[in-house]
């Protein structure tokens, strides 16, 4: 099996100040690499945020042990507007043990940040202080995929969720929820046409139908980590441990 990763930017490479356009992570057998790579390149060239002029595709063989983790349950919370959505997000975060101040700081960091990151910020669940030390890049969760793509697609369709955003987010959230010391995750997309977001905590992916205004290109991801967490171990797991997210493992 191979890990396939793509990151795309406009105005040059990310590290040279380019605007992040799109990223993707998959695991694939050798025979599927061409199709997976082609789909990623097309995505970078046709993204709603613009046509990438920098595309970095990385393919490497997975040599380490693969861990199977459960996919979360999905619960949709229908809200009237983004203000209601953010209230719902804060309530769920607090139930997951995130302090109010930490939730508010994190939401402000995503909503008012200077520019979108290509990874996620890790912040302390008790204070909201950034703890990852990864600067503009953030922690990029990688080396994960679904164990059975057809079963995942059938399950999502049965819930009326057919887009690529949810498919990718539940697989990523499955890995994040299996990570040591993560209390919760908050995310909304930087895709201007996609306003839904989520809070993942425990075994549940709380899909919130509006977390930002339509046409806004601001988005981001926050991992709330428990006090005393080993940040290097967390980063190592999220960036390097190979993970397959499975429905069966979740008893469904
Ligand atoms: P997206 O839902 O793909 O628009 O992603 C929303 C935000 O989440 C991006 O702007 C990044 O900051 C972050 N993000 C996307 N993919 C990842 C990833 N694999 N690992 C960590 N953060 C990510």
- pLDDT at position 113 is 78
- pLDDT at position 250 is 57
Pocket probe mutation, ligand 1, options 19, 118, 169, max atoms within 8 Å of Cβ: 118
- Residue 141: name the closest of 9, 27, 241 by CA: 241
Backbone dihedral angles phi then psi of residue 33, each to the nearest 5 degrees: -60, -40
pLDDT in tens, 135-191: 888 999 999 999 999 999 999 999 999 888 999 999 999 999 999 899 999 999 988
- Nearest ligand 1 atom to alpha carbon 23: 16
- pLDDT at position 251 is 55
Q: Write down the pTM of the prediction.
A: 0.94
- pLDDT at position 64 is 85
Nearest CA to ligand 1 atom 3: 189
User: How much distance in Å is there from the Cα of 2 to the middle of ligand 1?
Assistant: 21
Residue 173 near residue 205, CB atoms below 8 Å: yes
Nearest CA to ligand 1 atom 5: 189
> Which residues of the chain are modeled with pLDDT < 50?
none
> Taking the mean position of all CA atoms in its chain, how far away is CA 29?
23
- Residue 177: name the closest of 164, 186, 190, 189 by CA: 186
What SS3 class is residue 215?
coil
Q: How far apart are CA 123 and CA 249, in angstroms?
A: 29
User: How much distance in Å is there from the Cα of 176 to the middle of ligand 1?
Assistant: 12
């Amino acid at each position: 099996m191979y890990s396939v990763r793509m990151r795309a930017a406009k105005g040059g490479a990310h590290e040279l100040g380019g605007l992040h356009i799109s990223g993707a992570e998959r695991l694939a057998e050798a025979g599927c690499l061409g199709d997976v790579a082609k789909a990623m390149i097309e995505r970078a060239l046709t993204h709603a945020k613009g046509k990438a002029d920098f595309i970095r595709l990385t393919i490497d063989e997975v040599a380490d042990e693969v861990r199977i983790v459960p996919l979360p349950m999905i619960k949709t919370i229908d809200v009237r507007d983004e203000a209601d959505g953010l209230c719902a997000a804060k309530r769920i975060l607090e139930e997951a043990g995130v302090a109010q101040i930490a939730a508010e700081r994190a939401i402000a960091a995503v909503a008012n940040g200077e520019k979108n990151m290509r990874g996620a910020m890790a912040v302390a669940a008790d204070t909201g202080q950034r703890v990852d030390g990864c600067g503009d890049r953030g922690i990029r969760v990688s080396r994960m995929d679904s164990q059975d793509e057809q079963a995942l697609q059938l399950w999502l369709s049965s819930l009326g969720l057919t887009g690529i955003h949810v498919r990718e987010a539940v697989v990523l959230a499955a890995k994040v929820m299996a990570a040591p010391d993560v209390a919760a995750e908050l995310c909304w997309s930087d895709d201007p046409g996609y306003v839904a977001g989520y809070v993942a905590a425990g075994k549940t992916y709380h899909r919130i139908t509006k977390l930002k205004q339509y046409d806004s290109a601001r988005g981001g991801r926050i991992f709330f980590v428990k006090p005393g967490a080993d940040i290097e171990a967390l980063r190592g797991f999220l960036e390097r441990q190979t993970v397959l997210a499975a429905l069966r493992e979740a008893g469904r």
